[in-house]
């Protein structure tokens, strides 16, 4: 008798879970791709290779994708290192 009650309880529980679980059709949730988000790429930082000559003068090489960032970095280095 106890086994029958356990089996019936398990079946009722499974039936309730199947009935209450949302399906893809009626859940109201749709997955769509946003083209704007796919085209956003993170900016790569400017790479600086700083060199010092035997005369204690500085020079550097800059590498990066954004020309404006390269120019800003060059100006900032010139200002910080007092290079004309």
Q: Report the pLDDT value the prediction gives residue 38, as an integer from 0 to 100.
A: 67
Domains of the chain by residue range:
42-84
| Tens-digit pLDDT profile for residues 18-63 | 776 655 555 566 777 776 666 777 788 999 998 988 998 888 999 9
- From the list 52, 50, 55, the residue with the least C-alpha distance to 77 is 50
Angle made by CA atoms 2, 10, 7, in degrees to the nearest 5: 35
| Tens-digit pLDDT profile for residues 2-21 | 777 777 788 777 777 777 66
Q: What is the 3-state secondary structure (H, E, C) of the chain?
A: CHHHHHHHHHHHHHHHHHHHCCCCCCCCCCCCCCHHHHCCCCCCCCEEEEEECCCCCEEEEEECCCHHHHHHHHHHHHHHCCCC
- Name the pTM for this structure: 0.48
Q: Stretch 65-81: mean pLDDT, rounded?
A: 91
């Amino acid at each position: 008798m106890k086994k029958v009650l356990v089996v019936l309880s398990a079946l009722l529980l499974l039936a309730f879970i199947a009935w209450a679980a949302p399906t893809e059709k009626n859940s109201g949730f749709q997955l769509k791709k946003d083209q704007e988000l796919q085209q956003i790429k993170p900016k790569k930082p400017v790479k600086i290779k700083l060199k010092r000559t035997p005369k204690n003068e500085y020079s550097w090489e800059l590498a990066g994708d954004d020309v404006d960032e390269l120019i800003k970095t060059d100006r900032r280095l010139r200002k910080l290192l007092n290079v004309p």
